[in-house]
Amino acid sequence: MVKKKKRLPPGTPNPVDVHVGTRLRLRRTLMGMSQETLGNQVGLTFQQIQKYERGANRIGASRVYEFGGILDVPISFFFDDMPGELKTHEGRYAAGLRDKDAGNYEIDPLARRETLELVRAYYKITDPKVRKRIFEMVKTISKSEGLDD
């Protein structure tokens, strides 16, 4: 007898969709592109892009392909760094319930707007020596604050 797989409760985004949406947001923000601009390029509203980025709406294969072209990344980019637990149905189910209970779908601090803007600003510094000094300064500050254990 085949065991029936459990489904996530209605309104609970699939963790893979959340991951793909987070990667979409990461790349869009790193490119300095607004949700509105991206939406215009694919014929969607910025609200629809927001739903994709939160994982509330699943992004279809043709749309992933389209986003990859616009954002100049391979399709695999959207699935890179996906947690191992999401590779099985049971893992996706457990992660989906955990995320719903936590009420927090943006776990990765690297996906925060502040982080992305900092990285973009950092790479706008054209002098490699200045960039290196800023990098060393931030590391030193984080050690003095006990942030880099």
Encoded tokens for 17: 């969709």
Higher pLDDT, 130 or 82: 130
Statement: residue 132 has pLDDT above 60: yes
Q: Kindly report, residue by residue over 11-24, the tens digit of the pLDDT.
A: 777 788 888 998 99
Residue 62 pLDDT class (50, 70, 90 cuts): very high
Domains of the chain are: 15-108 (1.10.260.40), 112-149 (no CATH)
d(CA 31, CA 134): 22
Q: What is the pLDDT of residue 111?
A: 65
Q: What is the pLDDT of residue 105?
A: 47
How many other CB atoms sit within 10 Å of the CB of residue 22? 22
pTM for this entry: 0.67
Residue 65 pLDDT class (50, 70, 90 cuts): very high
Q: For 36-43, what is the mean pLDDT?
A: 96
DSSP 32: T
